[in-house]
Amino acid sequence: MTIEDVIQQAEKAGVELVEFLFVDNGGIIRGKLTHADHLRSRIISGIGITPAMMAMNMLDQLQPIPEMGPVGEVRLIPDPDSFRILPYSPRVASMLCDQITLTREPWAACPRSFLKSVIRQAEAMGIRVMATYEDEFTLARVTEDGRYVPIDKSLCFSSIGMDVGNPVILDIMSALKAQGIQPEQYYPELGHGQHELSISPTDLLGAADNQVRYRETVRAIARQHGLVASFAPKPFVDQAGNGAHIHFSLWDLDGERNLLWDPNDRFRLSELGYQFAAGILRHLRGLVALTCASVNSYRRLNPRSWSSAYTAFGPDNREAAVRIASTFWGNEERSMNMELKSSDSSANPYLALGALVAAGLDGIRNGWHPGTAVEVDPASLSDDERKRLGIVRLPSSLGEAVDAMEADPFFKETLGELLFRSYTTVKRSEFAAFAERDTEFELTNHFYKF
Ligand code: GLU
Ligand code: MG
C-alpha cells in the first residue's frame, strides 16, 4: 500500500482517528493517535514519543536506563501496509509502527525493526519463515467487587462451552477477517472460560503484527459482549494456562519449497529442520525470557500442564517444548511445521518471533543436532534419563529466565546492547515488583493488562 492508498481508504471509510501502535518491553500494546486530517504528514514524519516508554514496565514504573529518560525523542513511523480499519471501533483505524530516530534510522531499541533485521538474516541464508500464533484466552465477567469470573465451567472441547462461546467467537472471527486475518479452528479449551481460536500462518512480520491485532480484537469484541477477555498466561491458579504456541515453517525465497520437509526422514523433518530445532533448544532457557515474558508466565510453564516444562522435542509430543506437528493428508509438504509450546501472549511478539528465528538460524549456522526425539512425556522420565538425553528443566521464574538470558552471549549479540539491556532491566524490575506483592495482585494485574 502506498501512502495515497491509505489516505483514500481512510477517507472512504470516514475514519477520524488513527492509532499508531507499538509493543513495549513489558509486552504491553501502546500508542498515540492522530486525527485523520493529519494522517498524510504523520505517516511521513511520525508521531513523537519519549524513548522512556521502552523503559516502562507493565506496572508503569519507569526504569533507570540512561538512553530512555526525559530527554530525547523517537518517532512512531507507521507501516502503510499495516493500515486496518477497525471493525470493532467505528471511525477508527490502526497502524503498526517502527520506532525511528531523528536521524531517520531504526532506533536500536525498536522491537519491530529488530524483527525486520532477523528477517533479513534469514533471507540472506535463503530462508523465508512463515508463522502464526495459536492463542488461548479466557472469557470472564467482572463482579461488582472487581473480581474476574470465567463465563463457563465447560469441559475441554465440550459442546456446552460452544453454546456460550459461539456468539462471541463469531463476532471475533468476522472482525479478524475484516482485518485480513483468516480464522482456522475454534474450540472451548480445558480451563474454565478458556477458548482457543487459531488463525492461518503468514510471513514473519505479518505474524507479529497479527498477534497485536488479534489481542486488540479479542479484547474489544469481548467488551462489546459485556465480557473481559484475557490472555494472561495463568488467569486462575487452579485452571489451565493460556498458551500462545508459535507454529512455524521454513521456505525457500520463492515460497515454493518447504525446507522443513524430507519425505525420507522418520518424522519427515529435514536436516535443516533438525538444525533449526537444535538452535531453539540450545537457547531455550534464555529464550523463554522473551517468549514467556511475564512473572505470571511461570505459573503456566509446569510439568504435566501441556505447556512444556523441559527443553525436549518430539513428534506430536504436546509436553515437548518443540513439537514436530503431523502433516495434513493430501497436503503433506505444505503443512509440515513445528510448534514452540513455551510461548504465551504476555510476550512482545516482535521480540519473541525475532529471537526464536535467530536461535533457529544459529542452529543452522553451527550445524547443531537436537539429539534424540522424545516420544514420552519428559516429566515421566527419571532425572538420570533426562540427563542422558540432554533434557533440562525450563526456568521456574521470570528472574531465572532473565539469568539464563544473561548467561547466554547469544542474546546480547542478537538483540543488540540497548535492546538487551533495556529488556532485561524492565523484566528484572517486574520480577522484583511482583515479588513484594501477593498472588492476587499478580493475577489481577496480568488478567487486566494482557
Ligand atoms: N493450555 C495449554 C498451554 O498452556 C495448551 C493445551 C494444548 O493446546 O495442548 O499451553
Ligand atoms: Mg490449545
pLDDT, residue 287, reads 98
Is ligand 1 within 6 A of the CB of residue 136? yes
Ligand number nearest to the C-alpha of 302: 1
The pLDDT value given to residue 100: 98
Burial of 121 (0-12, 13-18, 19+ CB in 10 A): middle
Three-state SS sequence of 105-159: CECCCCHHHHHHHHHHHHHHCCCEEEEEEEEEEEEEEECCCCCEEECCCCCCCCH
Residue boundaries of the structural domains of the chain: 3-107, 118-449
- Greatest Cα pair distance in the chain: 66
Nearest to 419 by CA among 29, 57, 47, 55: 55
Rounded CA gap, 306 and 308, in Å? 6
Please identify which residue in the block is written with the cell numbers 471509510. Answer: 13
C-alpha cell at 23: 509493543
Question: How does pLDDT run across 280-321, given as a tens digit for each residue?
Answer: 999 999 999 999 999 999 999 999 999 999 999 999 999 999
Ligand 2 centroid to residue 362 C-alpha, Å: 29
Residue 437's pLDDT is 97
Question: Given this model, what pLDDT does residue 107 score?
Answer: 98
CA distance 62 to 73: 16
CA 92 – CA 81 distance, rounded (Å): 16
319 CA distance to ligand 1 middle (Å): 9
Query: Ligand 1 centroid to 348 CA: how many Å?
Result: 19
CA–CA distance, 113 with 97 (Å, rounded to integer):
9
Ligand closest to Cα of 242 equals 1
Domain 3-107: homologous superfamily in CATH = Glutamine synthetase, N-terminal domain (3.10.20.70)
Distance CA 133, CA 184 (A): 12
CATH 3.30.590.10 fits 118-449, yes or no: yes
Q: How far is the CA of 320 from the centre of ligand 2 (A)?
A: 14
Measured distance CA(28)–CA(40) in Å, rounded: 27
pLDDT at 299: 97
Alpha-carbon distance of 198 to 105, in angstroms, equals: 35
How confident is the model at residue 10, as a pLDDT? 98
Query: Cell 501496509 belongs to which residue?
Result: 81
**Does ligand 1 come within 6 angstroms of the Cβ of 239?**
no
CB of residue 318 inside a 6 A radius of ligand 1: yes
What is the b/e burial string over 383-408, where b = at least 16 CB atoms within 10 angstroms of the residue's CB?
eeebeebebbbbbebbbbbbbbbeeb
Q: Flag residues of the chain having pLDDT under 70.
A: none
CB 300 less than 6 A from any atom of ligand 1: yes
3-107 and 118-449 have identical folds? no
For the CA of 233, the nearest atom of ligand 1: 4
The residue whose CB lies within 8 Å of the most ligand 1 atoms, and thus the one to mutate among 341, 344, 345, is: 341
Q: How far apart are the first and last CA of the chain?
A: 30
Strand blocks (E) in 10-91 = 17-23, 29-35, 47-49, 74-78, 84-85
